[in-house]
Structure 1
Amino acid sequence: MKFHEAANIFPLDEEHLGELEDDIRQHGQQVPIELLDGKILDGRRRYIACGNLGIQPKTTTKTREEVGHPHDRVVTLNVHRRHLTVGQLTLIANQCREIHEQEAKERMVQGGKEAGRGRKKGVKNSSHPISKGKSRDHVAAQFGISGFAVDQGRRVVRDGIPEIQDAIKQDKITLNKADAVARLPVDRQAAALEEAKQKGKSPAMKQANGDDSDERKGGTAFLQAYKAIDVLKRIPLKHPQRKDAFGVVRKWIANTLKQE
């Protein structure tokens, strides 16, 4: 039986598969495997464990109406079962974010085609999926993490070398440190990453101030500055008060520096 593509957004935990097999051997399979469109949506480990034990697995078939969005269903069932770090959660959350944004884009294209065939432009489709602007907050709420953390994860994926994601998955580096490494020039990332994994206090990372262990000493000054910049970036370019708002920031910075 095949795994549903939505089920694969979470890593398959095979490390504790033996423990699950022992539990099923002693107590039987307590939770049925969820099927959608003939594929396993939830219960991959139960399926493998039953197969290893030579037991016919218990299954329950769900409809699209019952499940809703397949990826949302998988997140709901798995996010609290797993003992994942914030960094690991952000990588999975961004997979979901990309899916929602792609669906939103496809629906916009479809809506444009329908408008061209006679439907009035501007008429909203009530079944429109999560918009691009709201996808970040949607997955943040689902995974119980901050929107800023989701953005950090996206930056790691977008700007960082693949080894940074591997380090997060293996819990060898925190999200803050991974984000700091991803902000460095690509040719410096590998060295900074290795030093961070070995010592946790890479000079290159200290320069980027991603070492969250020194927060009480002001070690995350640059990271906080990046957060402020990210917030300012959300002010639309054509907002009538954008220039005045930036002026307030410049004035505050100038006055603060004079007092130091």
Structure 2
Amino acid sequence: MAEKRWAAYGRPENGVAALLGVVEAEAEKPAIKAAMSTFGVSWRGVYSVRVLGSEEPAAFVDARKPGESRPWDGSDLEPHALSLRYPGMGDAAYKDLLESVQSVGAKEDIVLFEGKILDGRHRYKAYREVGVPFNVREWTPEEWGDPLKFVKAKNQARRDLTVGQRAALAVEDRDKDAGKGRETRQSNLKTGVESPDPRRFKNESSGGRATENVAKAHGVSVGYVHEVGKIREASPETFEQLKRGEVSIPEAREKLGLAKPKKPKPEPDPVPSDSGLVTVNGERKYDEGVERARAAGVIPAGVAVTVEDPGDEAGDVIQAVREEQAEEAAKVDDLTDDEWIARLPLASVLTGVSLTRFRMDALFFRAFEQKMRGSLKAFYGKAAKAYYKGSFRGVVGYGIERLLRVEPPDRWRKCPPTDKGGCDGKGTVPIVGECGLCHGRGYLSK
């Protein structure tokens, strides 16, 4: 057997094996023995021997296992097609990345697949621009599974993607999954394999379930996915602009005529020149508040404002009314429970269990009105102002509001007859049992 040329490499250091030299031997084991003898190393001192042709051996070889991090060798790297499926990083986000690399260096490896960048194409650019050393590592199915799912998981966490970009990616995923489903069914028909229930496929593939799944995966609403799907059907070019982040969803819809036309604002009624005039006791006067009310539409145009001013007597009249109301309230408070109940309209209408429940409920309201309402209303006003901002109402505040809005028992009414869905004040309905409208009370309150 003719002898061959072998490149012998020594024991790796930092994941890289250096060339010991070239030896000649018939096979691998004799080549290792020749390297041991020629270069004075032990059996373990020889990392590998590699057969050579006419080419010269490399000075170093990578001795790392698949997926193990290693320093970048200085070669130019290109993005993988799976990575290019997602839009590039915006200028502002890339500027932040550059500043981060300048301050803390290269903290993450560049992941390679098929010799190209699967994850980290923006980091690779920033690392080279700043000039910091960085590591690369090969994608391995044992660690990361499917490469497409790996890319999806990495890019879905990007905060620089707009809502429109996320929705565009969701539409692509939905259509791609639907296409795979159609191919599977066609293949099953050709091979005689039993196909899944078409109703189930409709729900889980191209229908609502698939849209919900991709919308959730990309962090957008189902409505946005539907809207972007229509944009893609109307104009693939505009869809690509949306995917690149050059236009927003509303801008794309308006550009393609898909947005609902805005209703024109109604023309305001002409305001008369004397919009601020008011007649007080027969005399025409100007009032700024009346003019603002007309401008806001509170007082319609053309409606005259006339006021009768009682003058100094108004204070006496108001005071007299207040005193009369206070006396009437004091008389009611002095009534016994039985006397107070007898004054209520439903006391002479309800009977049996319904009357008993009405009596307990009404007396509970009376006690609340006398001892709690004033302090609770004052507390709610101060607490709501301190803790609730805008139109938000918490569960506690909402409960207190409902309690304060309960009308007094003299406004409660009997449950309507059975032909109108009630129990006619009995609390129960034949065959059904407890009335679902009044919940067995026999009366309704607000």
TM-score range, shorter chain: 0.5 to 0.7
Q: Which amino acid aligns with 2:252?
A: A
What residue number does 1:132 align with?
206
Partner Cα separation in structure 2 for residue 170 and residue 101 of structure 1 = 25
Letter in 2 for 1:10: Y
The residue number in structure 2 matching 1:156 is 231
**In the TM superposition, what is the alpha-carbon distance from 1:65 to its structure 2 partner?**
5.0
Instruction: Name the counterpart of 1:11.
Output: 87
Structure 1 gaps of 5+ residues are: 185-204, 210-260
Aligned residue in 2 for 1:201? none
For 1:144-187, what per-residue CA distance to the aligned partner results, in whole angstroms no more than 9, with x for missing partners? 112221111110111147347536855654x2453355455xxx
2:369 alignment partner in structure 1: none
Matched, 1:178 2:252: yes
For the residues of structure 1 that align with 2:184 and 2:142, how far apart are their CA atoms? 19
Who is 1:207 aligned against?
Answer: 261
The corresponding residue for 1:2 is 78
Distance 1:84 1:23, change over 3 A: closer
Distance 1:183 1:69 in 2: 40
Partner of 1:20: 97
- Residue type of the partner of 1:179? R
Pair 1:122 & 2:199 matched:
no
1:94 aligned residue (157, 171, 174): 171
CA distance in 1, matches of 2:240, 2:169: 11
Q: Secondary structure at the match of 1:30?
A: coil
Q: By how many angstroms is 1:76 displaced?
A: 2.0
Deviation of the 1:143 alpha carbon: 0.9
Q: After superposition, what is the alpha-carbon deviation per residue over 1:83-126, rounded to whole angstroms, capped at 9, x for unaligned? A: 333222211222222332233333333333432xxxx42379xx
Listed one character per residue, the Cα deviations across residues 181-237 of structure 1 (whole Å, up to 9, x for unaligned) are 5455xxxxxxxxxxxxxxxxxxxx55267xxxxxxxxxxxxxxxxxxxxxxxxxxxx
What TM-score do you get using the length of structure 2 for normalisation?
0.35
Which of the pair has more CA radius of gyration?
Answer: 2
Counterpart Cα distance in 1 of 2:109 and 2:235: 40
1:168 and 1:108, CA in 2 relative to 1: closer, same or farther beyond 3 A?
A: closer
| Superposed displacement of residue 22, structure 1 | 4.1
Q: What TM-score do the two structures reach when normalised by structure 1? A: 0.56
Whole-angstrom CA distance in 2 between matches of 1:26 and 1:142 = 33
Q: Name the structure where strand makes up a greater proportion of residues.
A: 2
Paired amino acid for 2:218? F
- Segments of 4+ in structure 1 off by > 6 A? none
1:111 to 172, 188, 203: 188
Equivalent-residue separation in structure 2 for 1:89 and 1:161 (angstroms): 16
In proportion to residue count, which structure has more helix? 1
Aligned partners of 1:30, 1:169: CA distance in 2, in Å?
27
Please report the RMSD computed on the Cα atoms of aligned residues, expressed in angstroms: 3.4
Q: How far apart, in 2, do the equivalents of 1:154 and 1:142 lie?
A: 16
Q: Partner of 2:172: helix, strand, or coil?
A: helix
